[in-house]
Chains A and B, each alone.
Chain A
């Protein structure tokens, strides 16, 4: 029989479980206290100057123009609208930037491991130069040394609809037709149908052991669907708009303003170096035996990359790449240096016109936080999707 335990429970201040809790509580109290101290300090300062904390100003007339907008904006709109316009501009440069960075980064990352000497050396140089200089310097470089050094708009002609001048890059783009929404719905249906056909043919191919060309089927469904859509609707979803030169500017097409182009190129070229290194690391992390095995099976090197190396590398690549995406979105606030009206730029103007520093900065913090959190969530979902499934 067990003897009654002589072991006495230690007092709670010696109990590790309680101690942990107590220390954490103390730390929390300290942090909260510190924040409250800072907040009251700021409030006291503002009150002394006769300025309370208030977000009322947001509904006032902004009165300042914004050069480049995604949605319409005029100086008679409110400060909220102005900040929203700035937010959309930040999103625009971030999203386009993330897409381009990914493409450039992956290509350079693979090139750096290429057996081609020229390709390998060029990507090494590119990475070392762009990774080791500050992004602000690069933004200035792109704006002053590249964009502003372009020929004046008066001196260039439209070549095949492309106008490259110091007023930015203008290229042919699409004008939406009235049937755009019907087309989008149709395309969605078509994509699903094509995908199902592909699955079905693929399955048949495996079952029958005959080559049935599922990819051709997929493309065929799409082409036939689009053809039928065109016959029924009588027009394509959008028509091509070729830019035309008008003396000091251009009409039609789509224009990358020099400010947008400078900030976009700088962010893409800078961030892509990091992505490239991450991709290289990810590929190198794939066990050599996997590639040797694939080689032994007689797969071509592009197939090895597509089916063996990359699917395994992507798991190590995703988490650090997420950080780079966040970095890109946050670095876009440097756009103010070259006059691109992003959230930070519009926020600074608002702050200046209203004198509401704390309020405006709070709004900007929340906006950037939202962008970062949403990006993280999306990337985490993707990460889960590609993660190794343990059976």
Chain B
């Protein structure tokens, strides 16, 4: 056989192999190009740079993913924009870095990102041992479990002896172990470093069920080959308050995160939206005037412009707008507000007064 023929065939089979394994793999996080966060003066560093660097999820539709136009979209992403609008005055002055569940804390600790907003559960250990400071909870979630509807699995007890998929480095991994040992159920866990592999394994049936936050299950259900062929069990395994986090030791950054996030909740309570915010600028209501920075100097006290809340609402929107766009009525997920309603509607959202 001629040598070129052998070579040609080798190349052809190589191409066939490539097609066969065109599974998408994780894109590695970008190399650290920005400045590192310094405790105490992060805000001025960010303002000098003119850009906020934020660690985000890029694989979770509804919360953080890369849309068809290549831009980051989702609920968490918009709260990142809220921060950029508050600190820099421009909601688009933010660079998102994709982080996997197990990269996220190290990225924050080493200053590769200024802030983390990646459906991260607030726990005592993360607050203290890992050295994070959490902002207000933006989404109250609980851990759920998904199984194929034809498997006959309806309760956790039905999962005895099953292979259950979890994502590495999550509270999910711990809750699953706790709940199952509490009920004395034996199971085999299969731990994946990224969710796409986990889903592929689940869809092929090599694992019987998989578990993550309920919101994550719902958002992933849409992307499965046959969304109607799967059920989310009625059991909630844990409390999962999700929110943004910064590194310990920078009080100003923490305070800004606290009040910027609460501004979206307060705006919903006032009935201020991105559409009508300009109409409120000449309001008689002193609460609203203070809130929008027309009167007094709440923004200055935080080290920001006085109109930071106005910029947030104008450029991004209030909590209800952000929720509806990404998770609620205007999204494919149509998630009920549930616990994530205002306290006046029986939910848990409650902003301290802006005064």
Contact = CB atoms under 8 A, between A and B. Distances in A.
Contacts of A68: 188
A336 interface: yes
A259 B165 CA distance: 12
In this complex, which of A49, A125, A149, A348 has the most chain B Cβ atoms within 10 angstroms of its Cβ? Answer: A49
B23 A140 contact: yes
A143 B130 CA distance: 34
Nearest to A132: B14
Interface stretch (B61-69, B171-179, B308-316): B171-179
A136 B28 CA distance: 14
Interface string B290-311: 0000000000000000000000
28 contacts: A49-B131, A63-B174, A64-B189, A67-B163, A67-B189, A67-B190, A75-B177, A121-B6, A133-B14, A137-B18, A137-B21, A138-B21, A140-B25, A143-B197, A144-B23, A144-B200, A145-B21, A248-B162, A337-B25, A337-B193, A338-B197, A339-B197, A348-B102, A349-B169, A352-B102, A352-B105, A352-B168, A353-B125
A349 B102 CA distance: 7
A128 B169 contact: no
A96 interface: no
Given A136-B25, A167-B163, A339-B201, A49 B189 contact: no
Interface string A227-266: 0000000000000000000001100000000110000000
A152 interface: yes
Interface string B207-234: 0100000000000000000000000000
A67 B191 contact: yes
B174 A64 contact: yes
B10 A133 contact: no
B23 A349 contact: no
A125 B25 CA distance: 26
Contacts of A75: 174, 177-178, 181
B161 interface: yes
A65 B201 contact: no
A152 B205 contact: yes
B204 A50 contact: no
A164 B144 CA distance: 31
Contact of A49 (B25, B173, B193, B248): B248
Q: Can you list the 4 inter-chain pairs with the closest CB atoms, starting with the nearest?
A: A352-B169, A355-B130, A148-B204, A75-B177
Contacts of B101: 352
B32 interface: no
Interface residues of A, number: 56
Contacts of A357: 105-106, 109
Nearest to B174: A63
A260 B58 CA distance: 28
Nearest to A350: B169
Nearest to A336: B193
A249 B208 CA distance: 11
A353 B169 contact: yes
A166 B189 contact: no
B131 A349 contact: no
Contact of A65 (B131, B162, B189, B248): B189
A341 interface: yes
B158 to A, nearest CB: 10
A316 interface: no
B249 A348 contact: no
Interface string A322-358: 0000000000000011110100010011011111010
